[in-house]
Chain A
C-alpha cells in the first residue's frame, strides 16, 4: 500500500528545522499518499457498485434474458414505458408507499415517545436503553420467521393470548388489510429502537441551562417541550426518519419470509416484484429498468438525507 508513496524524499532530520523546503516536498507526498490511501477503496466501489449499475443501465434498454441466451436487442425506452404504465407496478408502488409511510410514522411516534420517557428517568437509563435496542440487532430473517410463528392464526401465541382475553382469532397474515398491517407492525417492532436511539441522543444533548432558564420563567411543561426540546431534537429526528424511509423503501427480506407477498399480491413491495421479474421470469432487461427506476428514487431520498445532514453539521 505504501509503495507508490515517495517516503524518502525528505533528506533528513536536519532539514525539518527549516520549514520551507520539506514543506514543499511534503505536500507533494501528501497528494501521493491521499491517492494511494483512497484509491483502493474507490476501486472496489467502482468494481462492485458503479460498474454493475452501469451494466444494469445498459441492459435496461435491451430485451436481454440471463437464461434464454441470444444477443440482446436494443428496445429503447420500451422497458421503462412498460414499467411506468403497468397497473401491476402501480399497485406495488402504492403498497410500498403505504408500508413506508405507515411503518416510519409509527416508528417515529413510538420511538420518540420511548426516548422521551427514558430521558426523564434518573435511574436505569442504560439498562432500559440496552433492552430496548435488542430487536434492532436481530437479522431480518430471524425477525420474520419468529413473527410468522407468533402471528400464526391457529397456533400463534398472539391469537392464543387474544383468546385468553375472550377475543376472537385474527387472521394476521392472510387478510389483505391485516397482512399489510402485520408487516408494518413487525417492521415497527424491529426499528422503533433505531428512532429511539437517535431521539435519545438528541434529547440528552439539550443543554441544562435552557431548562433552568425556562423553569425560572415558570414556563409550562408543554411550552418547554415545544420551544426547547423539540426544535433541538427535530433535525436529528428528521435524519432518523429519512434513513428509515430509505431502508423501508428497499424492504425485501421481511416480505419474503413473513407473507411472500400474500394474500394474492397485496403485500408485494417494489423490491419483491423486481425479484419476481428477475428470477422467476428471468426478464433481465425489464428487471434492470425496474431496478434503475428504484435506484433513482433512492438517490433522491439520499440527496435529501445528505442535505439535512449538511445543514445539521453546519448548524
Chain B
C-alpha cells in the first residue's frame, strides 16, 4: 500500500515536466560574466577533434577569459546520442555546451533541452560571413531546405566543426587524377582490385551502429538523384523508394559492395581508416574530420614519413553522377537549458568569441574545420591538411538527413536495413521498401508520445 502511494507521488513528480515543452530563449546580449573561476564543459564523442578543441580553447580562450577552463567530456561514439539525451531527460547536464549532430536539433528543441539563440545571433553574430546553408544546418529548426536558409526560422546553435566525406584514393595504384563520376569511380575501383590482388577496390561505412550505413546509402541516393523524403508533406513511403532510390540501392549493394573486402560489413570510421593505412583499399570514403590519422606514419604501412604517405594517398571531392550532392557532417554548439546561468552566459561568450574571423582562422590552423567563408578560403585552413580544399569545395554541394525529433529511430531503421542488405540478410529492394514503410510509420505515429516505438 505504501509502495503504491510512493509510486504515484513519484510519478506525479515526473509529470512536472508536463508543461508544453519548447526551447527557452537565450538573452539577446551576453549577460555580465563572472570573475570567479569557472569550468565550461562540452560533451562530444571521443575522437581527435574533441581533444583538439579542448587544447585549442584552453590555449586561446584563456587569453580572453583567464578564469575560464574548458573541459570537453567525451563518450563512446555509439553512446553519444544516448549520453546527451539521457542527461537532457534527467533535466541535469554535466555539460554547458552540447555538441549535437545536426539531426539531433529537432529532438532537443522539441523537448526544450537547448536554448533558442535567435535573438543572440541577431545581435552578436555576423550571419553574412557564412554560407547561409551552413549556418542553417547546424542551428536552424525547422530544418533548412537543402542549400537554403530560412531567414525567419529560429536558430538553436552555431557551427563548431564542419565536415563531409572525402574520397581517399591511392595515387600509386589508380593514378593522380581522381575519377569524376560515380560510374567511373566504380570501374576504376574494379580495375584496381583486379590488378592488385589483396587490395580491395572500395572501402566505406557499412556498420549498423551510429549513422554509418545510413549515411552511405543517403550519399549514393543523393548522387543518383533520389530524395530521402518530402519534408513538406512528411512523406517517406514512395519518395525514398522511388525509381532513383531503388537504383541507388542497386548500385550500392550490387556494384559497390562486391568491391569491398570480405567481412567489411561492420566497418565504420576506424576500420576504413585501418584498411587505407594498411594499404588494403584503392578508393575509400570517410569523414574529413576523421582522416587526420591516415597521415600518421606510426599507424601506417604506406610510408615512414607524412610526405611518403602523401605520395600515395590523394584526397578528392566525391564523384558526381546525376547530382553532385555530398553528405553534410559536422556538428554545432548548443547551450544546455539546464546549465547554471553563469555558465550559460560564459557559453554564449565563448560562442561569440569562437565565431570571430581571427579565431576561426586559428581554429583552422589548429586542425579544426571552420564555417565562416573567409576562414574556409584562408591559407591557414587550406594549408593545414591535404583534405581541407576538399571541404571548401564541397560546401555548396551538401545535403543533410531529416532533422526531426524522431531522428534517432529513423536513422536506426535505415542503418539496420541498409546493413542487412549489404550483408545479404535482406534483398536490396525489400530493405529499401522496409525502410520507407517503417520510417513512415514512425513519422505518422509521432503524436503518440511514449507508446509505440517497436
Contacts and interface: CB of A to CB of B under 8 A. Distances in A.
Interface residues on A, range: 35 or more
What secondary structure prevails in chain A residues at the interface with B? loop
A33 B208 CA distance: 56
A286 B423 contact: no
Interface in B86-110: 86, 88-89, 107, 110
B266 A262 contact: yes
Interface string B115-148: 0000000000000000000000000000000000
A285 B451 contact: yes
A153 B263 contact: yes
A194 B112 CA distance: 49
Given A51-B6, A153-B264, A282-B85, A65 B450 contact: yes
Nearest to A86: B454
A280 interface: yes
A64 B262 contact: no
A83 B453 CA distance: 10
B207 A69 contact: no
Contact of B423 (A71, A174, A281): A174
B419 interface: yes
A49 to B, nearest CB: 12
B194 interface: no
Contacts of B412: 276, 280
B385 interface: no
A282 B262 contact: no
A62 B450 contact: yes
Given A50-B3, A69-B111, A82-B451, A175 B17 contact: no
A173 interface: yes
A89 interface: yes
A83 B417 CA distance: 21
A173 B266 contact: yes
Interface string B414-449: 001101111111100000000000000010000011
Interface stretch (B7-15, B159-167, B388-396): B7-15
A152 interface: yes
Nearest to B88: A67
27 contacts: A64-B450, A65-B449, A66-B89, A69-B18, A72-B450, A73-B449, A82-B452, A88-B454, A153-B263, A153-B264, A154-B261, A154-B263, A171-B265, A260-B208, A260-B266, A262-B423, A263-B208, A263-B422, A264-B416, A279-B82, A279-B85, A279-B86, A280-B82, A280-B408, A281-B442, A282-B450, A286-B453
Interface of B: 3-4, 6-8, 10-11, 14-15, 17-21, 78, 81-82, 85-86, 88-89, 107, 110-113, 207-209, 261-266, 274-275, 278, 280, 405-406, 408-409, 412, 416-417, 419-426, 442, 448-454
